[in-house]
Chain A
Amino acid sequence: MSSTVKTDTGRNDSPAAGEAARTGRSVRAVRTAGGLSVRLDVRTLVVCVLLTAVALSASVLLIGTGDFPMGPGDVLATLTGSGTAAQEFIVNDLRLPRVLVGLLAGAAFGVAGAVFQAVSRNPLGSPDVLGFSQGSTAGALLVLVFFQGGTFAIAAGSVVGGLVTGLAIFLLAWKGGIHGYRFVLVGIGAAAMLYAIVLYLMTKANIVEATQAVTWMTGTLSGRDWDQVWPLAIVCALLIPLSLLYGRPLRMLEMGDDAAYALGVPVTRVRVVLLAAAVLLVAAATAAAGPIAFLALTAPQLARRLTRSPGPNLLPAALMGAALLVTADWLSQQIFGADQLPVGVLTGLLGGGYLLWLLASQRKAGRI
């Protein structure tokens, strides 16, 4: 947290101003006539607005990218309904679903990562490390290899695999409550088993299926259509607001169970609800886009650094995830050429570098 005290230009007699003086942040309380009040952290607000802007700009650029390039002006015109028939087809049928899957999956991974990291109280406690992604992958590959299932069946396999894994890890790590390090280590054990199963399925597949499987395992936005958008959109619309509602109690959980309990947080219920929501979000996003490497790990961490705010930062993490994924997809098309490599390769490389830095820089602080 920043130690410099910012001047609060708001009403100095408000409680928020007092908090600002204590914590060195600009926090304002907005009160409506009806007696409702919302705490506004100015820095967080600015970060959220900026991330939204980045996500939307990258989306416009991404829609304009492809065999039939379009300028941002054309894209915006087409989106508002005044493009030519050809442009309408390209934007609405081909490229808009890809962008929407990117935005939604990114947001879902961001929120889920923030929840996992907060619950495990470990910056590395992301779905990749904990085995949920491997569970989803195993489920999807099982359908792909043994039943030659179509897109929808593969997505269903991924969701079921992720949920079963989530439940299993949760039950195995349960011992009168969920405890941070046990949760992470049980997840690591499960991840290794599931990865072995994934590898086995790979040897059973023919080479076409195997290539398809590796692409899927890396995470890709290529060739998404509306069939993938709708289920993901519904899951996100239900579960992201639910997670945000639990943001405050989750923040208290980070102080430790006893402190949270003393403050009146129903510790176990908050964990169970949030973990269930996070697992479902990961499963839905993985079904639509594959287990995009490291997104859930990095988005919450970057969001936290930008807002310089303690706690899980759920909304900034969601926006960061969406912005990161769409930007990475656009970048990977610019760098590798259109759809040469799935977006997961780029997030994997960037996320890997970030992860190593995180490990190196935080080991002294003893936070990992």
Chain B
Amino acid sequence: MLVDSPPEAANAPAAPRRRQITRSAGLVASVGALVAVTALGIAVGAKQVPLDQVWHALFHYTGDDTDVVVRDVRLPRTLLGLLAGAALGLAGTVMQALTRNPLADPGVLGINAGASAAVVSAISFLGITSLTGYVWFAFLGAAVVSVAVYVLGGTRSATPVRLALAGTALSAVLIGYINAVNLLDTAALDRMRFWTVGSLASATMTTVREVAPFLLVGAVLALAVGRPLNAIALGDDQARALGARLTRTRVLAMVAVTLLCGGATAACGPIVYVGLMVPHVVRAVTGPDLRWILPYSAVLSPVLLLGADVLGRVVARPGEIQVGIVTAVVGGPVFIYLVRRRRMAQL
């Protein structure tokens, strides 16, 4: 990934400016794509809603059937998709930079599984059913697993393979635990099996309102650590020489990842690979500067998530394929492609 040198170090004076223009134009185009996919997210589904009807429901609400579908079903679902998508993309980007690991993703590193296991425990043992109740458990699970994977993978000498293995291994353990709990408690299984898939279908405005603050704080933190993480990309010694505060940056980055993954997982269940794919695509456009990668990921990840959600609704009409399955099926090949590339670039 670090093949082209950072723009500050580039010799030719014209190149950075051209790059700057490309990046800005790209970001504008990405926002355009986001608007388009948002409109699709509201309009497409089991019941097609023409765009003028969408407009009508949003701004001249009269309470007819279509208005209700748009306001109470499609709108919260789309909003949650926007928030969760941005959260997963930012989390993936921060994790890839933090671990200098191109394969880092909240799903691959087991953080989603940690949040899921904690939520399953909350539902089954403590009888907690509300989102506000289990969002805290999701944070706890996400935090414990992110620290555990980081430690188990070997903090200093963490290779991509070792981290991915540590994450997969932990996921396997946690999935086993989730299965065991589900077997003992069939009622929990009935609720859990829809949640563990990863879906936006049950989103309500309450969900959005409850989870948004956590995601926003996480997003601000993630964007703020972009600059020091750039320094860390050069290696610990160089970063220290440049005056980056390694521990503080790492802790803040972990807090951001925990808030983003925990919040997104609590709201829509574990969704894998969004945080893996988007940063790779983005890096191809922006180059290695995290101050550009982070905003790009925040805009393009919801495009992917909402796109996957719409796809899942269209393909299996009148039913739907949950978004977590669509992203996993799309993301698996991308992951394998990244693995197969000639030489896995270190971040």
Which residues of B are found within 8 Å of A124, using beta-carbon distances? Answer: 165, 168-169
B225 at the interface (CB under 8 A from A): no
Q: List 25 A-B contacts (CB under 8 A).
A: A122-B165, A124-B165, A128-B172, A189-B339, A191-B168, A192-B108, A192-B328, A193-B329, A195-B175, A196-B197, A199-B196, A200-B197, A200-B322, A207-B186, A207-B190, A210-B193, A218-B179, A344-B179, A345-B183, A348-B173, A348-B179, A349-B176, A352-B177, A355-B172, A364-B154
State in angstroms the CA–CA spacing of A344 and B183 once bound together. Answer: 11
Q: A193-B329, A195-B328 are in contact. Are A184 and B161 (CB under 8 A)?
A: yes
A341-B180, A348-B173, A352-B172 as given contacts; A186 in contact with B336, CB under 8 Å: yes
A355 engages B169 (CB within 8 Å): yes
Is A303 interfacial (CB-CB < 8 Å)?
no
From known contacts A184-B165, A203-B197, A363-B152, infer whether A192 and B340 are also in contact, taking CB-CB under 8 Å: no
Q: A200-B197, A218-B183 are in contact. Are A190 and B336 (CB under 8 A)?
A: yes
Tell me the complex Cα distance, A211–B33, Å: 42
Q: What residues of chain A lie closer than 8 Å to B190, measured between beta carbons?
A: 207, 210
Interface residues of B in 161-195 (CB under 8 A from A): 161-162, 164-166, 168-170, 172-173, 175-177, 179-180, 182-184, 186, 189-190, 193-194
Q: Is B214 an interface residue (CB 8 A)?
A: no
Instruction: State whether the Cβ of B292 lies closer than 8 Å to any Cβ in chain A.
Output: no
Q: A124-B165, A197-B325, A359-B152 are in contact. Are A172 and B197 (CB under 8 A)?
A: no
The interface size bin for chain B is: 35 or more
With a CB–CB cut-off of 8 A, which chain A residues contact B103? 185
Q: Is B26 an interface residue (CB 8 A)?
A: no
Across the interface, do A348 and B177 meet the contact criterion of CB distance under 8 Å? yes
> What is the total of A-B residue contacts with beta carbons within 8 Å?
149
User: 6 closest Cβ contacts across the A-B interface?
Assistant: A196-B328, A193-B332, A348-B176, A352-B173, A189-B335, A185-B339
Is B321's beta carbon under 8 Å from chain A?
A: yes
Which B residues are in CB contact (< 8 Å) with A188?
108, 164-165, 168, 335
**Would you call A356 and B108 a contact (CB within 8 A)?**
no
- Would you call A247 an interface residue if the criterion is a C-beta within 8 Å of the partner chain's C-beta atoms? no
With an 8 A cutoff between CB atoms, is A261 at the interface?
no
Q: Are B184 and A341 in contact (CB under 8 A)?
A: yes
Question: With the chains together, A230 CA to B303 CA distance in Å?
Answer: 52
Q: Is A164 an interface residue (CB 8 A)?
A: no
Name B's A-contacting residues (CB within 8 A).
Answer: 103, 107-108, 152-154, 157, 161-162, 164-166, 168-170, 172-173, 175-177, 179-180, 182-184, 186, 189-190, 193-194, 196-197, 272-273, 321-322, 324-325, 328-329, 331-333, 335-336, 339-340
Asked if A355 and B186 make an inter-chain contact with CB atoms under 8 angstroms apart, the answer reads: no
Tell whether, in the assembled complex, residue B189 and residue A129 are in contact, meaning their CB atoms are under 8 Å apart: no
Q: Give chain A residues whose Cβ lies under 8 Å from the Cβ of B162.
A: 363, 368
A140 at the interface (CB under 8 A from B): no
- Given contact pairs A193-B329, A352-B172, enumerate 7 new A-B contacts (beta carbons under 8 Å): A122-B165, A128-B172, A199-B196, A214-B179, A351-B176, A356-B173, A359-B152
B172 and A293 within 8 A (CB): yes
**Chain B residues, CB < 8 A from A356:** 152, 169-170, 173
Task: Let me know if A199 and B197 touch, CB within 8 A.
Answer: yes
B176→A345 contact, CB < 8 A? yes
* Given A188-B108, A363-B152, CB of A199 within 8 Å of CB of B169: no
